[in-house]
Amino acid sequence: MNVNRFNSGREWLFFYFRKYKWQLLSGTLFVTASVTFGVMVPKFVGQAIDELKVGGVTYGRLGRSVLIIIGTSLISGIFLFLQRRTLINMSRYIEFDLRQDFYRHLQRLPLEFYQNRRIGDLMARATNDLGAVRQIVGPAIMYSEQTLIRVLIILPLMFRISLRLTLVLLLTMPLVSLTVRYFGYQIHQRFEKIQEYFADITARVQENLSGVRVVRAYSREQHEQQEFAALNHEYVDRNLGLVRLSAAFYPLMQFLIGIGFAVILLIGGREAAQGRITLGEFAAFNLYLEQLIWPLIAMGYVTNLVQRGTASLKRMQEVMEVAPAIADTPESLSEIDSIQGQIEFRDLTFRYSAETPVVLDGINLVIEPGQTVAFIGRTGSGKSTLMNLVPRLLDAPPGAVLIDGRPIRQIPIELLRRNIGYVPQETFLFSETLAENIAFGVEDATPARIEEVASIAGLSDDVRDFPRQYETILGERGITLSGGQKQRAAIARALIREPRILILDDSLSAVDTYTEEKILTRLREVMRGRTSLIVAHRISTVQGADLICVLDEGRIVERGSHAELMARQGIYTDLFERQKLEEELAAS
């Protein structure tokens, strides 16, 4: 769904109502029926009082009136059940759709979005704010319809009984309206700030739990507890301020309603005493007034729900309005069904935004299918950025990156990424079993295939010591594994896809040189016939590549085989000599 075509959050919600228009219509009919039968009860009570007064009290008349009132109340109750089941169920379905679309949208947003947003804030919007929005599309609609229909039915009936009494009653309505408007605005402002603060708390908890090792390593547990206590106290204080506001709101509404009752009792009693209305009509009028109490209170409750939900809807809309930066375009060709693996960078110049400096400058390189090309260079030279352009995690300028001779934007994203096995610089594992992490994205992976790729990645020997081997739960971000084991698990995850293009972005930095050599020996067989891009800082990782490119300040400054680059006595040779010296010093 393209949310950008909606001008407001309300238009966005109306889009979801279209799907459930029949539930909304039937729920409205049930509300109308429930209110209609409920409003008939005061009329029957009034008629019964007048009949008993005129004809005397008899068991027959009394029993008939009781049965009519009970039957009418029962029918009203049945429709009340149906209205709640229909409208509240509808709100849950809309909540489901909203959550699905919100999560789907988050999956499509560019990497830069997550670099500028806290995960805890997004979690708060996807849970707490979404729950507040559901109140708009469920209880708020139901109670609003009840209030409107009840008022539209009861006021004419009250006018029929006594025009004077009804006009007196309406004098309190402007006071109620002004009270609702004032408190509604205050509730909206405070709740919006509370939601923002709740996002701060969520983000703080998420960061501390993710970084629990660092917190403990630096003995900051007590400090973090104190910081969280301060945040928690502030959150409670802000909520108590909202509670105090609501606590003043409802008694004030009751007071205004009480004034209406007192005035009606005073004037209505005189009307009945003077014979302008019957005793039964006076009783019915008071029962109608009592039935209007809930709509008046509901106005305040609905206002509270709407103001909270509107604030939350605004926060969700802020995220939904962020357009996915990378998506299939009209250039994408549906007839492409396979990738051979040729990669070309043609006059590639890239920067993250117009305000940031150039990261890659004038890159020209052709990588043939089945070729292994390594990239090496100082930190910040643009190696990882170059790798991220191949699976379109970042979008290069049009025509600057080509796959099999076609501009990369002509290739459907799903097909492109399905044919790429990517091991990023920062390894991420899910809190699932080791087998599920390795088979991530491959639905038909067999245990034998999982063990095979784990063996190629040099992980199988370690797995034998795990308590449940491949069924071992890894914990949050793979916390139970060492850095080297995480990297090898990520390599196995890339290999099981049998990709045409394999990208290893500094994926052996956490293993020792002996383990690295074992893994590379096994990988060479796998990489044969596949286009392989290897990023590394260690010369030992890249020296067996078909082609080695040295990047410096976003440019390819040297290229060739290991022997050719060593003979050139340039940056590559300098890196080699420096690493060799570091190894000798470490060994001494």
CATH number, domain containing residue 482 = 3.40.50.300
Q: How far apart are CA 147 and CA 306, in angstroms?
A: 15
Top mean-pLDDT range of 27-36, 179-188, 281-290, 525-534: 27-36
Strand order in the sheet with 401-403: 360-367, 343-350, 401-403, 406-407
Q: What is the pLDDT of residue 358?
A: 83
Mean pLDDT of 343-351: 85
Confidence of residue 514 (pLDDT cuts 50, 70, 90): low
Domain assignment of residue 193, yes or no? yes
Domain assignment of residue 552, yes or no? yes
Contact 403, 339 (CB under 8 A): yes
Q: What is the pLDDT of residue 6?
A: 46
Q: What is the pLDDT of residue 160?
A: 81
Whether 441 and 579 share a structural domain: no
Domain assignment of residue 247, yes or no? yes
Query: How far, in Å, are 377, 534, 539, 550, 569 from residue 574 at the CA level?
Result: 11, 20, 11, 11, 7
Whether 355 and 276 share a structural domain: no
User: For a pLDDT cut of 90, what percent of the chain falls above it?
Assistant: 0
Domain assignment of residue 332, yes or no? no
Mean pLDDT of 559-574: 81
Q: Which domain holds residue 300?
A: 7-320
Give, to the nearest 10 degrees, the angle between helix 221-273 and helix 279-320.
150
Sequence-distant contacts of 37-40: CB under 8 A, at least 24 apart: 37/72, 37/73, 37/75, 37/76, 37/79, 38/72, 38/73, 38/76, 38/80, 38/150, 38/291, 39/150, 39/153, 39/154, 39/157, 39/288, 39/291, 40/72
Question: Which residue, chain included where needed, has tokens 């080791």?
Answer: 434
Whether 307 and 443 share a structural domain: no
Top mean-pLDDT range of 111-125, 195-209, 353-367, 451-465: 353-367
Q: Compute the CA torsion angle 570, 575, 581, 585 (nearest 10 deg).
A: 160
Whether 414 and 290 share a structural domain: no
Confidence of residue 586 (pLDDT cuts 50, 70, 90): low
Whether 523 and 401 share a structural domain: yes
Contact 429, 437 (CB under 8 A): yes
Whether 392 and 304 share a structural domain: no
Confidence of residue 470 (pLDDT cuts 50, 70, 90): confident
Question: Which residue, chain included where needed, has tokens 């029926």?
Answer: 33
Q: What is the pLDDT of residue 587?
A: 57
9 pLDDT above the threshold of 60: no
Of the candidates 490, 431, 407, 492, the one whose C-alpha atom is nearest the C-alpha of residue 456 is: 492
Whether 13 and 122 share a structural domain: yes
Angle at 360 between CA 358 and CA 363, to 5 degrees: 140
Averaged pLDDT of the chain = 76
Q: What is the pLDDT of residue 188?
A: 65
Confidence of residue 16 (pLDDT cuts 50, 70, 90): confident
Mean pLDDT of 369-377: 84
Q: How far apart are CA 46 and CA 379, in angstroms?
A: 88
Domain assignment of residue 51, yes or no? yes
Q: What is the pLDDT of residue 556?
A: 84
Mean pLDDT of 81-99: 85
Q: Do strands 531-536 and 501-505 pair parallel, antiparallel, or not at all (unpaired)?
A: parallel
Domain assignment of residue 331, yes or no? no
What backbone torsions phi and psi does residue 293 show, to the nearest 5 degrees? -60, -45
Confidence of residue 272 (pLDDT cuts 50, 70, 90): low
Q: What is the pLDDT of residue 51?
A: 67
Q: What is the pLDDT of residue 5?
A: 47
User: Does residue 406 or residue 279 have the better pLDDT?
Assistant: 406
Which residues, including other chains, have CB under 8 Å from residue 7's CB and lie 6 or more apart? Answer: none
Top mean-pLDDT range of 4-8, 263-267, 561-565: 561-565
Mean pLDDT of 183-188: 69
CATH of the domain at 124: 1.20.1560.10
Whether 14 and 35 share a structural domain: yes
Supply the DSSP string of 572-584, one letter for each residue. HHHHHHHHHHHHH
2 pLDDT above the threshold of 60: no
Whether 134 and 18 share a structural domain: yes
If you count them, how many residues does the chain have?
588
User: For a pLDDT cut of 70, what percent of the chain falls above it?
Assistant: 78
Total tally of structural domains belonging to the chain: 3
pLDDT tens-digit map of 224-262? 777 778 777 877 777 877 777 777 777 777 777 777 677
pLDDT tens-digit map of 326-346? 666 666 666 777 778 888 888
Q: What is the pLDDT of residue 361?
A: 83
Whether 376 and 293 share a structural domain: no
Q: Name the helix (H) or strand (E) containing 559.
A: strand 555-560
Among the residue ranges 121-135, 386-400, 502-516, the one predicted with the least confidence is 502-516
Q: What is the pLDDT of residue 222?
A: 77
User: Does residue 334 or residue 538 have the better pLDDT?
Assistant: 538
369 pLDDT above the threshold of 70: yes
Q: How far apart are CA 381 and CA 367, in angstroms?
A: 20
User: Does residue 303 or residue 418 have the better pLDDT?
Assistant: 418
Which amino acid belongs to residue 180?
Answer: V
Angle at 396 between CA 393 and CA 402, to 5 degrees: 95
Domain assignment of residue 330, yes or no? no
113 pLDDT above the threshold of 50: yes
Q: Copy the structure tokens of residue 412.
A: 């459907």
Which residues, including other chains, have CB under 8 Å from residue 11's CB and lie 6 or more apart? Answer: none
Whether 74 and 220 share a structural domain: yes
Whether 227 and 346 share a structural domain: no
Cα dihedral 555, 557, 560, 563 sign? negative
User: Does residue 109 or residue 10 have the better pLDDT?
Assistant: 109
User: Does residue 177 or residue 359 have the better pLDDT?
Assistant: 359
Which residues, including other chains, have CB under 8 Å from residue 545's CB and lie 6 or more apart? Answer: 372, 373, 374, 534, 561, 562
Q: How far apart are CA 13 and CA 30, in angstroms?
A: 22
Mean pLDDT of 529-548: 79
Domain assignment of residue 467, yes or no? yes
Of the candidates 170, 168, 155, 161, the one whose C-alpha atom is nearest the C-alpha of residue 277 is: 161
- Helices vs strands, H then E, count in the chain: 22, 10
Q: What is the pLDDT of residue 24?
A: 82
Name the DSSP letter for residue 357: P
Domain termination residue (choose one: 496, 526, 551): 496
